[in-house]
Amino acid sequence: MTRFLLRRFAMGLVLLFVYVSGLFFFVQIALPGDYVSHFALFLSNAETEALRDQLGLNLPIWQRYLNWLFNLLRGDLGIAYSIRGEGQAVTEIIKNTLPVTLLIFGLGTVIAFLIGQWLGKITAWRGPGFLSGSVTFISIALYTSFPPWLVFLVIYLVVWRLDIPISLQGRPGFNVPDMSRAQILWQILAGLLISIFIALIVAWASSRFRKKPLPALMFFLVLLVSWIASWYILGIQNSIPEILRQLTLPTITFILLSFGEVVLIMRTSMVDKIDEDYIQTAKAKGLPDNKVRDKHAARNALLPVTSRLIISIPFLLSGMVMIEETMNVQGIGTALFFAVGMQNIPLALGISIVIGIICLAARLLLEVMQAALDPRIRSGLNGRVRTP
Amino acid sequence: VNTIVYVTSNNTIDQKERIKIWFITTIHHSREAWSIYSRNKLAVFGLALLFIYVLITLIYPALLKTKWPKRVYDPVVGHDMMIFPHPSPPSTAHLLGTDTLGRDVLSRLMAATLPSLRMALTAALTSAIVGTLIAAISANYRGLVDNAFSGLADLSLMVPAPIVMVIIGFVLDISDFHFGLIYGLLVGVGAVAIVLRSHAITIMTKSFIDAARMSGGGGMYIATRHLIPHLLPLAAVNMLLTVTGAIFANGFIAFLGLSRAQLNWGSMIYDSFTYQQINGTITWNVLVPSALFISLFAASFYFIALGLHDVVDPRQAERSSPIRVKGEKKQILKIPWRFSKPELKAPDIYEYKFPAEKHTTKEFQLATDLTNISPRIDTATVVFEGIQSSFYECFPISVMLIKLIHDNSLTATSTGMVSESIESIMDRIDTRILNLGGWVKILDHKSLIASYGLTAHTPAQASSLQAARVGLELKDLLNDDPQRRNDELINAKICVGIACGEINLLPKENSDLINTLLSSEPGLVAKTLSYFSGFMKNGGVLICENTFRHLYAVQHHFVFGRKGMAQLPVEKGEGMVYEISGYNLQGKKNELSKQHQGRC
């Protein structure tokens, strides 16, 4: 398992390098004009040239590439272009915009996955009926709904009809969010990671000492309690309501957008499993119905869902970016659009790298999960492949 | 009840008949596929939806020419002076009302259908073609090419295709056709290729690929004739699933106001939002229909994909099979559609005509199907007519034959009719098997020799591989019943597989072919022979001189027994025969008994 992870990781690094290099040339060559030409109307010729010199845009492309690459190897993503004096460091901008995206995307994906697989499981197990039909209808409707339209509907229903005050600006473009908010978000994220760790330890201890696995509900309760506790320990409890006010709506929209697909895959996969012989056997042994459903059918049905999710991650992420753009969340997607629109090459490259890394990490996580779910894959990873 | 299996073959099919057979099979297949597809109501609904969209694109130009005056109904500059104020709610003149600028909403919706349809179809086709090609190439050649392509696929998973498209649309104003092309390329290299590649690799392990390879099919031939046709259905499913992403990305570009020149459902929503910010009224009559048009358009492709998925999934097909035997508990007989229904109810005579030599899969399917129903057959008479010794026919038929014979001998053992039962059949088929280039002989009650020295077309490796395969089939048969396995397989003096025949150096234009065979097959032969003979406690596999020379390179995998002269089935005169055995399952070498030396 460790060897597999290391190999995947090394492979990921190589891919990342190829990706980054390809991206550099693609962005430079495919986009017409450059950063300076956007402001050409306001600047005199001499000023334009001076700015080009200052930003290093007059150098040949391979030299720019090598410079950028060496900086990258040192962990320096460069400085975002700016016409007024010294620009901000790209790492700084990413540091400020990443936590919102991570929080919404990570939390949203996990919740969407949990809800989706649960609904798919239940509806497939019950068979055709009112519940199953309506759940399927809703999931298809959500899966095929145009993201901006969904955003509009959610805003319309929640903000205008229900009169719940949620701060939503118009469409003012991109402002780098202030540092303190980003810091608080990072702290929330760190708190979440630590709480997951604590909950895992509690679950492990429960199965080790009580000889009983921790119920899923208890797991989430521990998670929630320790997360909330972490806010108080870090001393950020006062800013939580404000952050909640800003993030709840995008998160809910993201969940709505992504859980339909999970429901549909889980349902089809589960329906396939119900006819299997081992389900009959499990029922014949006299196991309670929900045990057969959860332990025998659902566990097997989850495999195709996770493998499909690996492929869907980029698509979920782009849905996320669409939501960010329409809801004007100052996240990494908005920053990316801003950077590309202005041809702010270092910023665009830096953000693309971060998105690539998120995709890679999510994929690695799912692969580990798949190995944990499927003993066949696990044994394959350990090198014990059964001969035919 | 006597059930007779008539197996006839007619190799002299002319072009006309071939086309007829192709036509009939296609009709049958599509009918079967439709019966599975139409069970899914949503899939039928999706097809109807897509049909409506196509209809809209066809009707719209005509409608604009005849019924709707351009001045009022033009999707971009039309304006109705008779109505004030705009936006107006639905009326008889404007079924969905007008938007803030006084343009007819329905007309705009219909005008945007053609570009969207063109984009979606381009994206779907491109992704399917690219994905299938990459999957076929990497499954066929493996090695470096495969690694390169899977690296590319991994790479594309790091770049979300919709985001790339939005970024491209940000800077370049691309047409819907180019949009579909680029999107299809991105997704085809990535997600679709990943799914299809793993499917292609499982296909490459199937026996019909081996058969094609052994009879001299090159990589290109196998890829085009066998691999790609099997990949196409799954490719269809995946290409339809990619459409959803493409539609949303396209709509989103339009939504961001980046491609304003193009009329698009996304841009209609964007316009509506913009005007709402100006005058504060929400134009529901624009928003809801355009959102519905986008959603239903995406949904129609998704539903069609659902239906196609059912068609592709073999388990679904099985579940739908109408043939169920009463009294037996839910047992489903898998019998090819070619048997008509009345015959199935009272199976007295199965008559099966081999249509053409290249339908290997179907024949193999038939062979296995026949063996599935064999408990119901009392005596089997297998008549071959007009068979040429082509590998396509030999392999499935001989598998079927061995199974039938073996089954009958075992059921007959209890009634004490062994020798008669087997030998009476043997008498009848012996000469015909010789025609096939194969040779079956009974040594005593429970052992038989199957030997295949095919004709000059087939190299020795292929024959021995084939013989070993038949032996494996036999072993599988016994494996089903642990009692039989313990009693019989271990102690059976089965001596299977004299591989003989010459390695013919073919004329120069075919020299590439013989190289392929020599370079790729021996390893497989050795593996299969070793694996098979490992199961036998007594006896081993007899191989001929040529095969022996060939296996000499991998001799550490085998135990070599005695050698002796024997009459080889096809060749005239005697030839040297070697006895070999592989490792058994515990990793020990078998001890060869000395009983069968030189008896062949």
Token look-up 């081996």 returns: B210
Highest mean pLDDT among A66-75, A167-176, B398-407: A66-75
CA–CA dist B516, B518 (Å, integer): 6
The Cα A208–Cα A210 span in angstroms is 6
List pLDDT tens digits, range B577-600: 666 666 544 444 444 443 333 332
Residue of chain B whose alpha carbon sits nearest to that of A147: B248
Full DSSP string of A353-375: HHHHHHHHHHHHHHHHHHHHH-H
Q: Is A137 on the interface with B (CB under 8 A)?
A: no
Residue B106 is predicted with a pLDDT of 86
Lowest mean pLDDT across B38-52, B279-293, B357-371, B412-426: B412-426
- Residues B433/B389, Cβ–Cβ less than 8 Å: no
Of residues B524 and A70, more confidence is placed in: A70
Confidence of residue B483 (pLDDT cuts 50, 70, 90): low
Of B404, B399, B411, which Cα lies nearest the Cα of B450? B399
Structure token pair of residue A325: 């753009």
Distance from CA of B146 to the nearest CA of A (A): 15
Whether the predicted pLDDT of B318 surpasses 60: no
Distance CA B442, CA B419 (A): 9
CA distance A370 to A311: 13
Per-residue confidence band for B326, with pLDDT thresholds at 50, 70 and 90: very low
Q: Which pair of tokens denotes residue A119?
A: 């609904």
pLDDT tens string A169-222: 444 445 556 667 778 888 888 888 888 888 888 888 888 887 777 777 888 888
Q: At what angle do helices B113-141 and B41-66 cross, to 10 degrees?
A: 140
pLDDT surpasses 90 at B54: yes
pLDDT score of B219 more than 60: yes
Residue the block writes with tokens 């409890």: A237
Between the alpha carbon of residue B72 and those of residues A240, B76, B90, B142, B283, the distances in Å are 54, 10, 15, 61, 19
Distance in Å, alpha carbon of A193 to nearest chain B alpha carbon: 24
Q: How far apart are CA A50 and CA A85, in angstroms?
A: 12
pLDDT of residue A101: 86
**Which pLDDT band holds residue B46 (cuts at 50, 70, 90)?**
very high
Is pLDDT at B386 greater than 70 in this prediction? no
Residue A30 clears pLDDT 90, i.e. is over it: no
Q: Assess whether pLDDT exceeds 70 at residue B350.
A: no
Chain B residues with CB-CB distance to A352 below 8 A: 159
Range of weakest confidence among A48-62, A141-155, B522-536: B522-536
Residue B500 host element (H or E): none
- Closest Cα partner for B266 from A326, A101, A252, A342? A326
The predicted structure's pLDDT at residue A309? 81
Residue bearing the bigger pLDDT, B152 or B425: B152
In order of A8, A230, A325, B292, B294, the CA distances from A253 in angstroms are 33, 26, 13, 18, 18
Distance of CA A215 to the CA centre of its chain: 26
Span B288-294, average pLDDT:
90
In angstroms, the separation between the Cα of residue B581 and the nearest Cα of chain A is 19
Q: How confident is the model at residue B527 (pLDDT cuts 50, 70, 90)?
A: low
What does the pLDDT read at residue B528? 55
CB-nearest to A315 from B162, B269, B302 is B162
How far B134 CA lies from chain A's nearest CA (Å)? 17
Q: Torsions phi, psi of B503, nearest 5? A: -85, 105
Contacting A residues, span 343-362, partner chain B, CB-CB under 8 Å: 352, 355-356, 359-360
Say whether B456 sits in a helix, a strand or coil: coil
| CA nearest neighbour of A215 among A203, A225, A226 | A203
Is the model's pLDDT at B410 over the cut of 70? Answer: no
pLDDT at site B265? 85
State the CB neighbour count (10 A cutoff) for residue B563: 17
How far, CA to CA in Å, does A3 sit from each of A11, A16, A244, B576?
A: 12, 20, 41, 50
- Tell me the average pLDDT across A347-356: 83
**Over 50: is that where the pLDDT of B492 sits?**
no
Closest C-alpha among B560, B271, B220, B479 to residue A388: B479
**Cβ B144 vs Cβ B300: under 8 Å:** no
Tokens of B480: 């089903």
Would you mind telling me the total number of residues written for chain B in this entry?
A: 600
> CA of B150 to nearest chain A CA: how many angstroms apart?
11
Do the chains contact at A311 and B195, CB–CB below 8 Å?
A: yes
Give the other-Cβ count within 10 Å of B507's Cβ: 7
Q: Which of B212, B510, B516 has the alpha carbon at shortest distance from B358? A: B212
Q: Which of B78-87, B330-339, B517-526, B540-549 has the lowest mean pLDDT?
A: B330-339
* Amino acid code (one letter) for B250: N
Distance linking the first and last C-alpha atoms of chain B: 37
User: Which among A145, A152, A326 has CB closest to B295?
Assistant: A145
State percent of chain B over pLDDT 90: 4
Contact across the interface for B158 and A314, Cβ inside 8 Å = yes
Question: What residues of B are in contact with residue A319 (Cβ under 8 Å)?
Answer: 162, 248
Compute the mean pLDDT over every residue in chain B, rounded to the nearest whole number: 63
Of the two residues B104 and A1, the one the predictor is more confident about is B104
> Tokens 């845009």 correspond to what residue?
A57
Q: Which of these, B589, B365, B577, lies nearest to B460 by C-alpha position? A: B577
Most confidently predicted of A43-47, A331-335, B45-49? B45-49
Instruction: Say yes or no: B195 contacts chain A, CB-CB below 8 A.
Output: yes
CB contacts < 8 A, A to B, total: 122
B347 CB within 8 Å of a chain A CB: no
Q: Find how far residue B343's CA is from the centre of its chain.
A: 28
C-beta atoms surrounding B330 within 10 Å: 6
Share of chain B above pLDDT 70, in %: 48
| B444 φ/ψ angles, rounded to the nearest 5 degrees | -145, -160
DSSP state of A168: -
What tens digit of pLDDT does each residue of A110-131 get? 899 889 988 988 888 887 888 8
Residue B187 has pLDDT above 60, yes or no: yes
Greater confidence (B280 vs B49) lies with B49
A316 close to A7: Cβ distance less than 8 angstroms: no
Mean pLDDT within A316-330: 80
Asked whether residue B359 carries a pLDDT value surpassing 80, the answer given is: no
Q: Which residues on chain B are in Cβ contact (under 8 Å) with A380?
A: none
- What are the residues whose beta carbons fall under 8 Å from the beta carbon of A330, sequence distance 6 or more? A97, A100, A174, A175, A176, A177
Longest dimension (CA), chain B: 106
- Nearest-Cα residue of chain A relative to residue B160: A314
Say whether pLDDT at B426 is over 70: no
Tell me: the pLDDT tens digits for B442-457?
444 444 444 443 333 3
Closest CA to A308 of A271, A267, A274, A354: A267
Q: Residue A226 pLDDT more than 50?
A: yes
Q: Quote the tokens at residue B239.
A: 């290409």
What mean pLDDT comes out for the span B113-141? 89
Residue B244: is its pLDDT beyond 90?
no
Least confident of A33-42, B23-32, B37-46, B248-257: A33-42
H-helix or E-strand spanning residue A384: none
Q: How far apart are CA B253 and CA B266, in angstroms?
A: 8
Hey, are the CB atoms on A356 and B159 less than 8 Å from each other?
Answer: yes
A335 touches chain B (CB under 8 A): no
Nearest to A314 among B160, B167, B299 (CB): B160
pLDDT of residue A297: 84
Least Cα distance to B317 among B327, B305, B332 occurs for B332
Q: Is the pLDDT of residue B570 over 50?
A: no
* Rounded average pLDDT over A353-374: 80
The answer on pLDDT for B226 being more than 70 is: yes
Per-residue pLDDT of A252-279, as tens digits, reads: 889 998 888 889 888 888 887 787 778 8
B14: tokens are 């002319």
Residue A169 sits at the chain B interface (C-beta within 8 Å): no
At residue B450, what are phi and psi to the nearest 5 degrees?
A: -115, 130
Residue B70 Cα, gap to closest chain A Cα (Å)? 30
B81 vs chain A: nearest CA distance in angstroms?
A: 30
Query: Mutate which of B41, B150, B156, B157 to test chain A, going by most A C-beta atoms within 10 A?
Result: B157
Is residue B171 pLDDT above 80, yes or no? no
Q: Which of A31-45, A295-309, B72-86 has the lowest mean pLDDT?
A: A31-45
Q: What value does the mean pLDDT of chain A take? A: 79
Cβ under 8 Å to A: B residues 369-398: none
pLDDT in the model for residue B9: 35
Question: Do A102 and A329 contact (CB within 8 A), yes or no?
Answer: no
For B297-313, write each residue's pLDDT tens digit. 989 988 888 888 877 76
* Window from A370-384, B118-132, B270-284 with minimum mean pLDDT: A370-384
A109 with A316: CB under 8 angstroms? Answer: yes
Residue B576 and residue B544 in contact, taking contact as beta carbons nearer than 8 Å: yes
Other C-beta atoms lying within 10 Å of the C-beta of residue B594: 11
Half-sphere exposure of B593 toward its Cβ, with a 13 Å CA cutoff? 13
Query: Nearest-CA neighbor of A320 among A102, A94, A16?
Result: A102
Minimum distance, in Å, between the CA of residue A284 and any CA atom of chain B: 16
Instruction: Give the DSSP letter of residue B568.
Output: -
For residue B179, is pLDDT > 80?
yes
What are the backbone dihedrals phi and psi of residue B352, each rounded to the nearest 5 degrees, phi first?
-135, 130
Q: Does A37 touch chain B (CB under 8 A)?
A: no
Of A100-109, A223-232, A279-288, B68-77, the poorest mean pLDDT is in B68-77
Least reliable range by pLDDT among A47-61, A164-178, B205-219, B497-511:
B497-511
How many residues are present in chain A? 388
Mean pLDDT of A35-61: 71
Question: Does residue B154 belong to the interface with chain A, where contact is any CB pair within 8 Å?
Answer: yes
Return d(Cα A123, Cα A115) in angstroms, integer.
Answer: 12
